[in-house]
């Protein structure tokens, strides 16, 4: 099973939408294997958003990501990286399709509810950035035979 990182952004927490967003991933059948609340700082955002450092909106993006704590979640599932990314929808929420998280809860290219890892390789790097091995919880998945076919693992 793949693992991917979701960051519930500060604005989502402030708007009281964190539970609804977590619920969407739960209802899809993804398994929550690690979760914590954290106040991000500039140092970690310089690394996490290094690909955007030269963009004019970078300072605003960082301000938004430090405006309140975030909720860091690791979701596990078959092909979870792509599934979670598609559930989030387009980066610019005004272009995100209704039914996606951004398409249902946001009007902004910046304040777009969640971060999701964009590849399996980056998911591993990002999960290591925010979680330690002891943060992961190993617990039974008794419904897996109802969620998946035998070859979906
Ligand atoms: N962002 C923004 N303006 C843009 C593009 C991105 O404010 O034109 C912000 C937005 O919050 C986005 C984050 O920067 O989620 C990271 O950008 P990325 O291109 O990695 O998009 P994502 O992977 O989050 O869809
Ligand atoms: Mg990205």
Active-site annotation, residues = 115
pTM of the model: 0.98
* pLDDT given for residue 77 in this prediction: 98
Q: Is 61 in the pocket of ligand 1 (CB under 6 A)?
A: yes
Ligand 1 probe mutation, 51, 52, 93, 95, most atoms within 8 A of CB = 52
CA atoms of 16 and 43, how far apart (whole Å): 27
Quick one: CA dihedral 49, 53, 59, 60, positive or negative?
Answer: negative
In this structure, what token pair is assigned to residue 108? 């902004």
CA-CA distance, 146 to 134, in Å (whole number)?
A: 29
Question: Who surrounds ion ligand 2 at CB < 5 A?
Answer: 118
Mutation to probe ligand 1, out of 49, 51, 53, 61 (largest number of atoms < 8 A from CB): 61
- Residue-wise pLDDT tens for the chain (153 aa)? 999 999 999 999 999 999 999 999 999 999 999 999 999 999 999 999 999 999 999 999 999 999 999 999 999 999 999 999 999 999 999 999 999 999 999 999 999 999 999 999 999 999 999 999 999 999 999 999 999 999 999
Q: What's residue 25's pLDDT?
A: 98
**CA nearest ligand 1 atom 21, residue:** 91
Closest C-alpha to 70, from 27, 137, 134, 129? 129
Report the nearest-CA residue for atom 10 of ligand 1.
110
- Rounded CA separation 64/106 (Å): 14
Closest-CA residue, ligand 1 atom 4, reads: 109
* Structure confidence at residue 133 (pLDDT): 98
Nearest ligand 1 atom, CA 9:
11
* Predicted local distance difference test score (pLDDT) of residue 153: 92
Q: What integer pLDDT is reported at residue 22 of this predicted model?
A: 98
Contacts (Cβ under 8 Å, ≥6 apart) of 21: 6, 8, 12, 101, 105, 113, 114
What is the predicted pLDDT for the residue at 47?
98
Secondary structure class of 149 (helix, strand, coil): coil
């Amino acid at each position: 099973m793949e693992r991917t990182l979701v960051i519930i952004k500060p604005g989502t927490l402030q708007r009281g939408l964190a539970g609804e967003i977590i619920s969407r991933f739960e209802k899809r059948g993804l398994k929550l294997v690690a979760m914590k609340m954290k106040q991000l700082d500039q140092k970690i955002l310089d690394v996490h958003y290094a690909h955007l450092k030269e963009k004019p909106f970078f300072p605003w993006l960082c301000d938004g990501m430090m405006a309140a704590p975030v909720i860091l979640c690791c979701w596990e599932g078959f092909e979870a990286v792509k599934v979670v990314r598609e559930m989030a929808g387009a980066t610019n929420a005004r272009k995100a399709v209704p039914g996606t998280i951004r398409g249902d809860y946001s009007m902004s290219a910046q304040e777009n509810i969640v971060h999701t890892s964009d590849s399996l390789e980056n998911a591993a790097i990002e999960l290591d950035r925010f979680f330690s091995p002891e943060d992961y919880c190993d617990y039974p998945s008794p419904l897996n035979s109802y969620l998946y076919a035998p070859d979906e693992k």
